[in-house]
Structure 1
């Protein structure tokens, strides 16, 4: 499972499930927070109160799951409807042996 949705993750065998993060929005939010903090520091400096600076801030950006073939529902087991055979790790096709 990846956590950056790198373009090549879609071309791996099997294609890698990943979490997509909006890095552009993250950068914009970071710059906005920084500019806001600098503006507040400037205002406090004009009031001759530089030691009253604000503390750290947080921003939450929701990630998105990008499911690909590296994740799948669990295989069917004996006693349930279906062949009861586990899929082959290399092909994903139920094996004919055992």
Structure 2
């Protein structure tokens, strides 16, 4: 059975992030920086392809370079989301 978030649950998840999740932000940032050396969020396809070719000469969708990039990109988005949530929590506490 698929569970759907209600508006109240989504609000709670967005503004009252558990402490454990906020502690993971530095680890997510480190993981996100592993592919390029910095955040992959501001990179274009050319930068990805050049780096991917240096990892694996046969760049394909199931290759090791693509898996490394996907993990890095996913972690970067998670770290960015956690940072935004942390800012919102700070704003709500100090409002």
Per the normalisation by structure 2, the TM-score is 0.32
Q: Higher relative CO (CA 8 A, sep ≥ 6), structure 1 or 2?
A: 2
Per the normalisation by structure 1, the TM-score is 0.31
User: Which structure is larger by alpha-carbon Rg, 1 or 2?
Assistant: 1
